[in-house]
Structure 1
């Protein structure tokens, strides 16, 4: 608890409390205007003035949820509950954060308490019931899973048995495979809100899985001196913004190579369209189009944030399982001209990690809760030196000294990562050695941020940034296919 200076007597304490309340109200305004970072700063100021208010901690916890700082959200919600054991919002916030961290058992305890406090709250009852189902489902899946004996979904699919109806008017994959014309037709087809026939959808997934299985966890990319190379960050199912990137920067080709740095799906409600276009270009230009795994290319995230629900709605459950198999084989990072390392999340909780350590990672699995693979997908930079526990509750936060040491150990110039929303779509930190790029503008149809992509040439590898605003999309909002329990507005 913050100790308040009482040198001015009782009136001084009252003045501090009054100022704290005024600051909280100001923070609420910023929160309503979706300026969550400013809201967090003001809630923090209010807490400094009056650390005994459960409401301030509960409100800041909500703002942390909005910025995906789930670890911090848990801490603040817990503090609110410690101050006031009857603070229902604290239990709500903590339960939401636990769900985001894939800890449904812990969330269930909090939802149960909420239902006790509010027995007539229908939303609380729905969340409790849904969380209970998730806990039971995960227990069942764990009980029946035997990884060494589990048959691959890919092995059970026979394309020859999938008939393409005469009425289908969409793009078709010919015997020669994917062509530029197919990709052009596919993007037009998707833009018109039509679906790729499941025969061709399955073929893309089977072919891309076979391709990625033969590749290492770290991909070395050679960029000729005179060539342009583009790095994009999170897309998150924002298909129409993906098309806008291609309008601004040109469609992928052998002379216009791209790297998409993870989180292709979830949240945005056109994730199926995004992933098939990206996989299609990868198959068309395997040596000039690259994809890295993000923290959202995982089964648990897809179950919660919408991709699994979207695949089931547009295709079927079998295809959702096949996507999980494919994602397990996505490379974890790329090294550009031996100078720039690109990963989705960030660096590590321990010094001494070498590129060869990354190459040796057995990535064919769901992301673990700790270790090099986890941190590549989840970690974030921080401005201060050293390391800190992750604001997300997974991975770690690393300072400029950690970045410098890693680069020196591996003879690299800088790292490029994604994973975080940035107001301008990108951010350069750690004395220019750590660059964040995020390519989903107006993230979740609510954040108001710009998107960005990076271009560089092989000669000097200096990054150039292009920013862009969100474009209109059909009236299907973000999180339309997400699990209902992921509503953070309670």
Structure 2
């Protein structure tokens, strides 16, 4: 007789093992789904706040128009304000020698030395230098900018290129100053050349720390291969966007002596960037998107260099203001262009301006039709029917655009007729998203290549990466909440009829969305933001218990502090424009008049006496001037929980 195990016992053990495996598998799937949901919520927070900020930035255009109509009448001793705001032109830098000729490169400079005309060797020099974190000397930066401007002026609004089965073209989306992503693209895909052409689809700058390095690499490659290196303008190739999103600050930090010259020339270079690329007469590559009224024939004729900034829409000045400008400046100003000798400047028509804005700012959506882009505040949302209509009208087959961060680096929508490609990995936070690029050639299906620059993230498991990203998202959301504390408390108290200090989940979520204007999954996020009792009711004041705004003037009213914190980016841009001599100082009188106009236009309810009192307190040395930028930098949010965590970790 044998002593083997019976078949029934074997079947029983196999069944137990199978059931255990299924339980583990289901648990893992559930766990992974929860992590993915948390990751998705975090990305939604990042994107919602990003778009809300862009909306605020675009709304500045209305304020600048309002400002133009009112400011000079209040401050008739400063007519040059109109020039600074709407007359930003390259008129006074036509003489290249004035910008470059007086700059010497010292013998002690050990960075890359470019030779003009540039060659492949100069591309290699830049790549190696920037990998070593060297700074290109201002002399070479300005030379590259002037050469690029000269070459771009010869380009049409839409550049056209052809591919073949043996010659694919690579399309890259937003880089946003992330130099490591560009290095990785070139490592995986090869450097630009006559046999390896590229389209870089805008938003080269802002947010990241290496925007100028990316520009220099792309511009030098364009100068070497003007027919195989295509550079489209994005919505961040805009001097007003750069003031808010970091590129201006980067330039002034890296080029303390010649930074203002670089910015002035760069501002004009932006305007000469083409607004799109057409591949094989079939693929339209533009940064943002289209609208139901997009007219490529009109866009081909637009004098694109007149689009100084999306924030500077066409505007006519009233006769008094024009007369004032002529009498005191010797020039006539209209819209946002200036010509000397009293000749009215030309500008884009309202229709032309709107067409360009749609190209730079629009986003696709699944809903049919074309409707205002309420998230960003500019451009439109366009549905699959609009895509089909515009592509068919101009005998095109595919629209490739960028402009939106996607978790996987790309996304296909509108029945395969629209592709979004985004090339900045880790855009919001380490591990938040992949980057991607596309390779296309005639008669073949587009091929997608994904990547993610990994430093610390590669050693961390997924749950740690999600936790870090989630914490960062919640942090910026709480900062948005504290900036609207007064409004939120008022909204909560309207709902709290029993004065219990508590609201139902639906009441709290309604108030949050109504005040903050962010379409977020508030119920799912509530556990991170507020305390809930046993009955599921929310202690709404717990929304603010772990953070507060530091105020540089202790006597300032809390409502005023919130408003200054909320609008600090807008105010910083406005005062940078007013500060004509770049001294960093504005007079108390300028502060008062500007704030009162801001107060009026934005319907901010702050008493003039509070503003006057604040102005006096801001003038620390009583010299009649205020270092307003430094004042605004003093506003920041203290996260008490972060502080307690850091203290406990050191014990």
Give the TM-score normalised by structure 2: 0.53
Partner of 1:101: 58
Q: Output the CA distance in 2 between the equivalents of 1:200 and 1:269.
A: 20
Partner of 1:230: 170
User: Size of the alignment, in residue pairs?
Assistant: 375
Partner of 2:245: 305
Check conservation: 1:178, 1:284, Cα contact below 8 A: yes
Q: Does 1:197 align with 2:140?
A: no
Partner of 2:270: 327
- Give the RMSD, CA atoms, in angstroms: 3.3
Task: Please give the residue correspondences for 1:328-407 in structure 2 after superposition, counting only pairs within 5 Å.
Answer: 328-350=271-293, 353-364=294-305, 365-368=307-310, 371-390=354-373, 391-407=375-391
Task: Please give the residue correspondences for 1:138-217 in structure 2 after superposition, counting only pairs within 5 Å.
Answer: 141-144=81-84, 147=87, 151-155=91-95, 157-175=98-116, 177-217=117-157
Partner of 1:430: 414
- Secondary structure of the 1:168 match is coil
Cα offsets for 1:195-240 (capped at 9, x unmatched): 1111111110000001111211111112234211100000000001
Q: Output the CA distance in 2 between the equivalents of 1:37 and 1:338.
A: 39
Which stretch shows the higher mean deviation, 362-371 or 270-279?
362-371
Q: Output the CA distance in 2 between the equivalents of 1:373 and 1:181.
A: 36
Q: Does 1:36 align with 2:48?
A: no
Distance 1:32 1:105, change over 3 A: farther
- In the TM superposition, residue 371 of structure 1 has moved relative to its aligned partner by 1.3
Q: Output the CA distance in 1 between the equivalents of 2:236 and 2:636.
A: 18
- In the TM superposition, residue 361 of structure 1 has moved relative to its aligned partner by 1.5
Partner of 1:47: none
Check conservation: 1:241, 1:440, Cα contact below 8 A: yes
Distance 1:233 1:378, change over 3 A: same
Partner of 2:51: 69
Distance 1:147 1:385, change over 3 A: same
Cα offsets for 1:99-140 (capped at 9, x unmatched): 433528879xxxxxxxxxxxxxxxxxxxxxxxxxxxx9x997
Q: Output the CA distance in 1 between the equivalents of 2:403 and 2:452.
A: 18
Check conservation: 1:171, 1:185, Cα contact below 8 A: yes
- Secondary structure of the 1:328 match is helix
Q: Output the CA distance in 2 between the equivalents of 1:487 and 1:307.
A: 21
- Secondary structure of the 1:207 match is helix
Which stretch shows the higher mean deviation, 142-151 or 421-430?
142-151
Partner of 1:318: 261
- Secondary structure of the 1:441 match is coil
Partner of 2:451: 468
Q: Output the CA distance in 1 between the equivalents of 2:299 and 2:292.
A: 14
Q: Output the CA distance in 1 between the equivalents of 2:80 and 2:244.
A: 17
Check conservation: 2:400, 2:420, Cα contact below 8 A: yes
- Secondary structure of the 2:304 match is coil
5+ unaligned residues in a row in structure 1: which ranges? Answer: 1-28, 41-61, 71-95, 108-135
- In the TM superposition, residue 249 of structure 1 has moved relative to its aligned partner by 0.6
Partner of 1:455: 439
Check conservation: 2:288, 2:362, Cα contact below 8 A: yes
